[in-house]
Structure 1
Amino acid sequence: MNTLRAGLLTTAISALAAAMLAACGGGGGGSSATPTGTVNVQMTDAPACGFDHVYVTVNQVRINASSSAADSDGGWTTITLATPQKLDLLSLTNGTMATLGQATLPAGQYQQVRLVLAQNQGNSTANSVVVSGTGTEQPLATPSATQSGLKIIRPFDVAANSTVDLVLDFNACKSVVQQGNGSYALKPVITATPTTVAGIIDGYVAVAEAGATVYAEQNGAVVSGTVADSSGHFVFSTLTQSSTNGNYDIVIAQTGETTGIVTSVPVVVGATTHVSTAAQPIALPVSTMNSVSGTVTASANASVRALQATPAGTYEIASANANLDTGAYTMSLPVAAPMSGAYTGTLPVSLNPVTASAGHYTIEADAASGAVKTTPVDVTAGAQTGVNFSF
């Protein structure tokens, strides 16, 4: 794990602190002392598709009580790193985190976090990727990230005389997109979760399936992701409690194997829910893989998802970003029926094939504008090409 050295900011002048406190709904009860708390910011990552390394260099973390505050508005508290630190996001999986620093804030609620990155300059690649198997570091373009910062809107509370750990989950897989000339750009997908409302889900896949991508999903959308380690162990360390957002579905995907789905997994603050153990890991049968490819109107700046429906729900099995210049995309999907079972609290969870779903997917294109288009595909007959979307 990379650990960053971050400087503590001094508390803002009393007039500004009082204004921020009033905006946050806090109050000192007429006391001359402003109650404060501490926020400790950490970063982790979901798996990245097709990369050995995804590097970003962090300069600052900025926090504001207003979700609409612009870069030049007041009310910002800034955590400035003593030395900009280059992090390999792909080393921050399975519960591993990098600490970005701390700041003292007036007690109250905060809405916005910005992650400010260093710039690529000349031959210095502050932000870069290494495509799997190439060993070559290529620059990663970061529009706006080096100026105003990557914006994350997520309310969290800072209580007086306490510390809240805020974890930024950087989904590198969905955040890196290829351009027509073969270069790469950052289209950030980041969430923030205070550990005060979070719990853990963990489990094991068979050792032969080490390296499998594992997703925690809700309503067919990926909330967080990780990679099973060499022992088959996977961990989701900061999932919001089920009483707030509902239970989670755990989706296991790996090339050459059928998909595994464990539904209705609860999360309790401060506790760990086990979906499988080292003694009884989840083992999935092999599957032929076939590709789905096509183009999306390039100006849509779209992401593409492969969704698979079962009687228990619909799940995201794979995703890709369309090329920013050409709109081209491709995904590889299992032909075999997914294996699905509900979590009941008793292990092992029984997974059974959903035969009717074998090879059947809905391909969804999501444009940056919010427009969505879908089309069904059946990969049982082979690769599906020309699955195109026009926006």
Structure 2
Amino acid sequence: MLLAAAIFTVNCGGGVQITSNPPMGTVSVSASDPPSCRFPSGNFKHVYVTITSVQAHLIPTATDSMPGWQEIAPTLAAAPVQLDLISTPQTGCVLAQLGSNVSLPAGDYQQIRLILLPNSPAGGTPTPANNACGSQGFNCVVLSDDSIHILSLSSQANTGLKIPPGQIAGGAIRVAAGQNTDLNIDFNTCASLVLQGNGQYRLKPTLTAGQVSANNTGLSGQVVDSATMLPIVGGQVLVAIEQPDSTGVDRVIMQTATDANGNFNFCPLPVGTFEVVAVATSGAGVAYNATIALNVPSGTAMGKLPLIAEAGAATGPGTIQGVVTSANASAGAGIDAAMSAFQTISLSGSGTRDVTIPLLGASTGNIATTATPVAVVCPVNTFCEQYTLIVPASNPSFGTFAASGTTFSVPAAGSVLFKVEARAFRPLSGGAHTCASTSLTVNQDSTSAPLAVTAGATVTAKQMDFTGCS
């Protein structure tokens, strides 16, 4: 029997062309996640998801039902893989190999999706041989008290966890004819979990993907106290690698907690340059400034990354609290909101850049608005929820990476100014936008003064109101 292959491509006019018997390449797919919310740094001991399919498409705007989705992990259909997304570091850089040397048409793949096993699959559906979730479906979280909670899915069991071009390094995965391409999918698990008002957890996927090299060892270093050049003892030390988005804002690509000696390692990584952003609090509750290394190439062993401890009468981190509301034309409407905190740095020559600052402690990076939240009373005809962001209470130290040694700036004196952003998503949609504005940003407090953070104190940010929410 002769099997003919077909490939869908986009021509210059935006139409779709079908090419029979295209040249073929192969792809190998792995999954990784350097977590930052694993106990004791966070509240989770395990986060399990069960993957049944990984697919790729050449067209960036391809819909769920459009032909041309290519399966790149075909063994998962009969043998789903259950991953612990925050497994211990002993698993190394890669959580699991999902597919190896899978043949597919050559081209630039601009959209990727993962299909998850439903928590209540139809009879006869293949399931993992050993299900760590027990009676709580096949996707679940295990909290620090060892209790197991089902992880509610949105559309992931049908249309998949989407990775659009903006979340693919370089915009696409290039599969060359006659060559193998290594693709890594990174789960930002800690940014993907939404605690609902009923105490249950929902998956709001935050993923990135990139083409990696087997010879690229990633990006590593050690966070230390600038005064002693020794690891910061106890507490919490977080490191993120970031890249600017289309608006110039540095967004988190991966984030992790260091080990007890302050060491971190992001791997595997796509080829490129990254900002490395580190924050910390010590076991004694002393906060450290954010330290930012600019333009660090992948494959770099950075050495020591020094953080400056807070000094003065109060030495703890600062807290930003605020309220997000959501409504349609006449009543409240529930949304998921992803919260971020930015500090602004001056770039060499001219210009500035907003950098995402990793959130410390018991921050609520994801919230879900409801009609009757516990902590606040919603304005009339809105749903709402309160957020809490715990951040450094000093200005950042930053410098452009140099292999011979990076020189970091002294944190600027004066007010410690922040911006807070909320991005709105439709609940149970897999990450679809739902309001008239996809995001809102404030740089003022509730009195319309600049949003300034003080060590050991709480500042209330100006309310953010999403309208036109479906």
When the two structures are superposed, what TM-score results if normalisation uses the length of structure 2?
0.69
Secondary structure at the residue paired with 1:47?
A: coil
Q: Which moved more, 1:301-310 or 1:231-240?
A: 231-240
Superposed structure 1 runs of 4+ greater than 4 Å apart: 21-25, 196-199
Q: Is the 8 A contact 2:323 2:386 kept in 1?
A: yes
TM-aligned CA deviation for residue 147 of structure 1: 1.1
Q: Is 1:267 paired with 2:297?
A: yes
Q: Partners in 2 of 1:110 and 1:310 — Cα distance?
A: 34
- The aligned residue for residue 203 of structure 1 is 221
**1:218-237 superposed matches below 5 A:** 218=243, 219-237=249-267
Secondary structure at the residue paired with 1:53?
A: strand
TM-aligned CA deviation for residue 386 of structure 1: 6.0
Q: Which amino acid aligns with 2:324?
A: V
Q: Which moved more, 1:253-262 or 1:101-110?
A: 253-262
Q: Is 1:35 paired with 2:23?
A: yes
Q: Is 1:146 paired with 2:157?
A: yes
Q: Is the 8 A contact 1:37 1:104 kept in 2?
A: yes
Q: Is the 8 A contact 1:197 1:241 kept in 2?
A: no
- The aligned residue for residue 212 of structure 1 is 237
Q: Is the 8 A contact 1:58 1:116 kept in 2?
A: yes
- The aligned residue for residue 45 of structure 1 is 33
- The aligned residue for residue 107 of structure 1 is 106
Q: Is the 8 A contact 1:21 1:106 kept in 2?
A: no
Per-residue displacement from partner, 1:321-357 (whole Å, max 9, x unpaired)?
A: 123434221111122343333312213x343431336
Q: Which amino acid aligns with 2:292?
A: V
Q: Could you tell me the percent identity over the aligned residues?
A: 31
Match of 1:383 among 458, 466, 470: 458
Q: Partners in 2 of 1:238 and 1:288 — Cα distance?
A: 34
Secondary structure at the residue paired with 1:379?
A: coil
Q: Partners in 1 of 2:139 and 2:2 — Cα distance?
A: 31
Structure 1 residues 71 and 300 mapped into 2: Cα distance closer, same or farther (>3 Å)?
closer
Residue segments in structure 2 that go unaligned for 5+ positions in a row: 13-19, 121-133, 166-171, 225-230, 244-248, 327-333, 348-352, 360-364, 374-384, 426-432, 445-450
Q: Which moved more, 1:218-227 or 1:54-63?
A: 218-227
Secondary structure at the residue paired with 2:48?
A: strand
Secondary structure at the residue paired with 1:355?
A: coil
- The aligned residue for residue 13 of structure 1 is 3
Secondary structure at the residue paired with 1:58?
A: strand
Secondary structure at the residue paired with 2:297?
A: coil
Q: Is the 8 A contact 1:295 1:322 kept in 2?
A: no
Q: Which amino acid aligns with 2:389?
A: M
Structure 1 residues 258 and 39 mapped into 2: Cα distance closer, same or farther (>3 Å)?
same
Q: Is 1:248 paired with 2:274?
A: yes
Q: Partners in 2 of 1:261 and 1:114 — Cα distance?
A: 34
Match of 1:318 among 335, 358, 379: 358
Q: Partners in 2 of 1:43 and 1:146 — Cα distance?
A: 18
Q: Which amino acid aligns with 1:136?
A: S
CA RMSD of aligned residues (A): 3.0
Per-residue displacement from partner, 1:30-82 (whole Å, max 9, x unpaired)?
A: xx975322111111114344333221111111222223333333222222414
Richer in helix (by share): 1
Q: Is the 8 A contact 1:139 1:184 kept in 2?
A: yes
Secondary structure at the residue paired with 1:331?
A: strand
Structure 1 residues 309 and 355 mapped into 2: Cα distance closer, same or farther (>3 Å)?
same
TM-aligned CA deviation for residue 172 of structure 1: 1.0
Per-residue displacement from partner, 1:247-286 (whole Å, max 9, x unpaired)?
A: 4221112234313423322426xxx22222xxx4535425
Secondary structure at the residue paired with 1:360?
A: coil
Q: Partners in 2 of 1:68 and 1:123 — Cα distance?
A: 38
**Number of residue pairs aligned between Structure 1 and Structure 2:** 360
Match of 1:57 among 41, 47, 50: 50
Match of 1:372 among 440, 448, 452: 440
When the two structures are superposed, what TM-score results if normalisation uses the length of structure 1?
0.81
Structure 1 residues 373 and 386 mapped into 2: Cα distance closer, same or farther (>3 Å)?
closer
Q: Is the 8 A contact 2:33 2:188 kept in 1?
A: yes
**1:336-351 superposed matches below 5 A:** 336-347=394-405, 349-351=406-408
TM-aligned CA deviation for residue 91 of structure 1: 2.1
Q: Partners in 2 of 1:56 and 1:358 — Cα distance?
A: 43
Richer in strand (by share): 1
Q: Is 1:360 paired with 2:417?
A: yes
Q: Which moved more, 1:89-98 or 1:328-337?
A: 89-98
TM-aligned CA deviation for residue 239 of structure 1: 4.1
Secondary structure at the residue paired with 1:297?
A: strand
- The aligned residue for residue 128 of structure 1 is 140
Q: Is 1:187 paired with 2:204?
A: yes
Q: Is the 8 A contact 2:338 2:424 kept in 1?
A: yes
Residue segments in structure 1 that go unaligned for 5+ positions in a row: 1-10, 26-31
